Amino acid sequence: MGEQTVGVLGCGTMGSGIAQVAAAAGRSAIVFEVDQSALEAGLGRIERSLAEGVRRGKLDEQEGAAIRGRIRGTTSWADLRPCQVVVEAIVENLAAKQEAMRALSDVLEPDALVATNTSCLSVTEIASSYRHPERVVGLHFFNPAQVMKLVEVVRAVETTDEAFEQAYEFARGIGKEPIRTKDSPGFLVNRLLIPYMNQVMQAYDDGLSSRDELDAAVELGLGYPMGPLKLGDLVGLDVALHAAEALYADTRQEEFAPPPLLRRMVKAGRLGRKTGRGFYDYAPTSSTVAEQ
């Protein structure tokens, strides 16, 4: 398994983290991007993340350089041919993901494992565009992928037992804690998280308690590391809205329906940390200034 070559489609927030994790576990990683400038931006993201790891003493310079040395970038589908595993982490758009599956169908060996990191789309629907849908699974990493241990391993309708277990072992092999679940809206974590976040936002809108007290109730009463309003700001309220809408569209269950306050905040551009305002106000940090 140490010789495994892992392809990663998309080198944005998630793809860059996944490629780094795979390379840190000794795999060769090939990241694919739409064009040269997106590729350079993505590789730059990995380099900054490794430099940050060195600065914080999580790895030494030599290790950082070795990880970087195992990652190469490409804009050519043909370069993904040697990959035994490909993780798709492009934009959350069904048509784009299905197009990527068709392109992979022409280059990968039939026994390659193909995983999608989709958050809210159907793995089965994405897999239907791949020539061997039985080899497709969901591997749902959490942000930041370099840090978060959990990976949801998602079995789609056509996924074989063999592919499913290979995906589980792959996730374990790169140092993650995988859990098995099946293709259903929100998989496991978002299915649990979204109704809870919706409830708290509605309670806030109803004036049941203040923002700080609602977060304190969850942090101190339930022992969660972060209250739900802070968490919403961190994840992005537009992302939370999108997830709630997708779950509701699929299930029509009331508990997933986004609360009106969430819609209003997104309409107002109060998306959380990334726009400087959500439920809380954020002073620009040095890193957000640097990104601009």
Ligand X SMILES: NC(=O)c1ccc[n+]([C@@H]2O[C@H](COP(=O)([O-])OP(=O)(O)OC[C@H]3O[C@@H](n4cnc5c(N)ncnc54)[C@H](O)[C@@H]3O)[C@@H](O)[C@H]2O)c1
User: Does 272 help bind ligand X (rule: CB under 6 A)?
Assistant: no
Site for ligand X in 13-52 (CB under 6 A): 13-15, 32-34, 38, 42
User: Does 159 help bind ligand X (rule: CB under 6 A)?
Assistant: no
Which positions are catalytic?
119, 140, 152, 190
CA distance 267 to 271: 9
Site for ligand X in 115-144 (CB under 6 A): 117-119, 141-143
Structure tokens at 205: 């809108």
Instruction: Give the H/E segment covering residue 30.
Output: strand 28-32
Closer residue to ligand X in complex, CB, 66/107: 107
DSSP string, 45-72: HHHHHHHHHHHTTSS-HHHHHHHHHTEE
To ligand X, the closest distance from the beta carbon of 60 in angstroms equals 28
* Binds ligand X (CB under 6 A): choice among 92, 158, 245, 255: 92
DSSP 3-state assignment of 231? helix
Stretch in the footprint of ligand X (CB under 6 A) among 5-13, 178-186, 215-223, 274-282: 5-13
* Binds ligand X (CB under 6 A): choice among 8, 100, 153, 193: 100
User: Does 200 help bind ligand X (rule: CB under 6 A)?
Assistant: no
Angle at 195 between CA 190 and CA 198, to 5 degrees: 115
Residue whose structure tokens are 């060769």: 28
The C-alpha R_g of the chain, in whole angstroms, comes to 20
User: Does 249 help bind ligand X (rule: CB under 6 A)?
Assistant: no
User: Does 276 help bind ligand X (rule: CB under 6 A)?
Assistant: no
To ligand X, the closest distance from the beta carbon of 268 in angstroms equals 22
Closer residue to ligand X in complex, CB, 66/148: 148
User: Does 12 help bind ligand X (rule: CB under 6 A)?
Assistant: yes
Instruction: Give the H/E segment covering residue 192.
Output: helix 189-205
* Binds ligand X (CB under 6 A): choice among 21, 71, 86, 89: 89
For residue 178, say if its preceding peptide bond is cis, omega within 30 degrees of 0: no
What's the CA dihedral at 206, 210, 211, 217 to 10 degrees? Answer: -100
- Helix, strand, coil percentages (3-state) for the chain, rounded to 5, are 50, 15, 35
Size of the site for ligand X (CB under 6 A): 24
User: Does 229 help bind ligand X (rule: CB under 6 A)?
Assistant: no
To ligand X, the closest distance from the beta carbon of 38 in angstroms equals 4
Which residues here bind ligand X, judged by CB under 6 A?
Answer: 9-15, 32-34, 38, 42, 89-92, 96, 100, 117-119, 141-143
